[in-house]
Chains A and B, each alone.
Chain A
Amino acid sequence: MLKSPIKTFLRRSAGTILLAGVFVYLILDMNPWKFFLRALFPEETEWIYPRAMLIDLVGEHLLLVAISSALAVIAGIAAGIFVTRRSGRVYLQTVNDLTSLAQTFPPVAILALTVPFIGFGFKPTIAALFLYSILPVVRNTISGIGAVPAPLIEAAFGMGMTRPQILFKVEIPLAMKVIMAGIRMSVVMNIGTATLGAIVGAGGLGVPIISGLVRQNQAFVLEGALTVCLLAVITDRLISGIEEGYF
């Protein structure tokens, strides 16, 4: 039973794994960069962002995303489960209204606004990223669990399942696909917003991009932009693969 999801996952993700391989290579070896960027921008003097190694930047970026997304997923699913329980149902409408409103806020605005209140740097950025990436997770948890048909729950009760058993054995497995989609949206969006973290002193792959824009050095911009784009696409495909291979 466990073999087939893994097999489908591997088959569908072949392209992604290849891409990931290329990505890892490109972070470790800067020679292709030098060659490629020099060919594109012969008039520049520097092609590789000097103040930090690409691999360190990627690491910073991943850390930003990983911590904030992990927290967001845990808190988001917990909140989504809470408002779909008997005791939390009063808050369901309010949470829905608030999250749908908050999702119309541009992420850059949220990031920018936390600075005056929480300050610059790594930790405040994680707070801002957490606040924004929790939204799709909560919404999708709510809609996923809400989509479980009532007769199923009734049958589960009738068979003698307790409420926690119904949650874990019926509701969550059936909602998993939608929840996963929400997590994917959240993480990919997070990678994008974390790029802006460079502006508030959080490091990450936005640093060479901003530096390149400021110093009018296209090579820096490309170095940062290509890397973060690859990162985003690979992450999106990987999580998609889990989503589909899941069932």
Chain B
Amino acid sequence: MIQIQNVTKKYGPTIAVDNISLEIPAGETCCLIGPSGCGKSTVVKLINRMLEPASGRIYIDGKDSRDFKPELLRRHIGYVIQNVGLFPHMTVAENIAVVPWLLSWKQEKIEERTEELFRMMRMESEHYRDKYPRELSGGEAQRIGVARALASDPAILLMDEPFGAVDPLNREGLQAEFMKIQNDLKKTVVFVTHDLDEAIRLGDRIALMREGKIVQYDTPEEILAHPKNRFVSDFVGADRALKRLSRFPVSEFMKKSVAVRISDDVDAFLAKTRKEGKPRFVWLLDEHERLIGPVDSRHVHTPFNREEDVMEADCPAITVRDSATLREVLSRMLGQGVKTIPVIDDDSRLVGEISILEIEKVTEEAALEC
């Protein structure tokens, strides 16, 4: 856990960080966000003593950070920056091994740990370990940067706009991976970002800063539901209700769907459904349970004709992945003019469906203040 107590940092007459106090419980992700110049990067650098405070103290796991030599402290804190900072003259494996080397780990232990990290990042070790940073794409480099920060298995991870320089498509993937890893490892993470959506998605708590002070420090739901003042509500934007939806993963709210495999007796199934009256739409799956498309049980040919009776579900706009949030679901619904969206997994298999009713239920239960 990290305790920041009454810390101030000045650059000459300018106050970068103004008497802030912050407590980040162990295992939580705290996102620091705010307009540029608000001091968020400075806070991070104060934690690992790249900068020294003018006043105040920082306690890490109960111990004053000043009790340690700066180098030693930093070797036990993972640090990821926006420009990655991978050493161009070292291979990927050598880059990852830097902090363990600084900590005088034995070579076998370093090898083991490197393999473990490759697995964690879902990157093939043989393919990547001897490559040089210039041979990696932006997203790959970033993942190696994170792996490098985790190499010594630090309890704390400091990330300063780590995904800022990555294109939006890759960024999404990186964020999802980060959440998975964080779920497993439960590190104490301080994550600086200027992207509110990213903060809402990744943060257990968000600290919104302005001109060196913390304006509000709360869970994302709280900040969205109850912004403390005009600045906060302006910052989160008028669409905060929509933003809130991105806190709700679709996998928690979807319901079971009625589906039939094409290899089964489709006609009989459709007949039964017609007799029961509902549901009207039924999902057609292939032999491997992959979604083909919806079938209107009231308007089918007998015998069932695949060509004419199914709206093929190739278009991704009509489906949503199980890793998505309710926000994407709503977006699809509005975009396609439909009220129900099927949920598929990585292999395109149908795992459930979600309708506008579920979303309404969620929003009713947590009404926002005006």
- B: interface residue count bin: 20 to 34
Query: Are A160 and B89 in touch, CB under 8 angstroms?
Result: no
Q: A-B contact count, CB below 8 Å?
A: 58
* Set of chain B residues within 8 Å of A151, measured between Cβ atoms: 81, 83-85
User: Which of A149, A158, A173, A174 is in CB contact (< 8 Å) with B79?
Assistant: A158
Q: Is A39 an interface residue (CB 8 A)?
A: no
User: Which of B50, B87, B148 is in CB contact (< 8 Å) with A152?
Assistant: B87
Query: Are A158 and B87 in touch, CB under 8 angstroms?
Result: no
Q: How far is the CA of A169 from the CA of B98 in the complex (A)?
A: 10
* Set of chain B residues within 8 Å of A247, measured between Cβ atoms: 89
**Binary B-proximity of A128-165 (CB < 8 A = 1, otherwise 0):** 00000000000000000000010110111111111001
Q: Is A170 an interface residue (CB 8 A)?
A: yes
- A: interface residue count bin: 10 to 19
* Set of chain B residues within 8 Å of A156, measured between Cβ atoms: 85, 87
Q: Is B319 an interface residue (CB 8 A)?
A: no
Q: Is B75 an interface residue (CB 8 A)?
A: yes
Nearest opposing residue in chain A for B102, CB measure: A160
* Set of chain A residues within 8 Å of B83, measured between Cβ atoms: 149, 151, 155
**Which stretch, B23-31, B66-74, B327-335, touches the partner chain A?**
B66-74
The dominant DSSP class at the A interface is helix
Query: Are B102 and A157 in touch, CB under 8 angstroms?
Result: no
Query: Are A158 and B71 in touch, CB under 8 angstroms?
Result: no
Query: Are B99 and A160 in touch, CB under 8 angstroms?
Result: yes
B157 to chain A, nearest CB (A): 12
Given A151-B81, A154-B81, A165-B102, A159:B88 Cβ within 8 A: no
Query: Are A159 and B98 in touch, CB under 8 angstroms?
Result: yes
Would you list 27 pairs from A and B whose C-beta atoms are within 8 A, ordered by A residue?
A149-B83, A151-B81, A151-B85, A152-B85, A152-B88, A154-B50, A154-B85, A155-B86, A156-B85, A157-B50, A158-B50, A158-B81, A158-B85, A158-B158, A159-B74, A159-B102, A160-B70, A160-B71, A160-B99, A160-B102, A161-B98, A161-B102, A162-B71, A165-B102, A173-B89, A174-B87, A174-B89
Which residues of A pack against B, CB within 8 Å?
149, 151-152, 154-162, 165, 169-170, 173-174, 247
Closest 9 interchain pairs by CB?
A155-B85, A160-B75, A160-B74, A158-B79, A151-B83, A160-B71, A173-B89, A162-B71, A151-B85
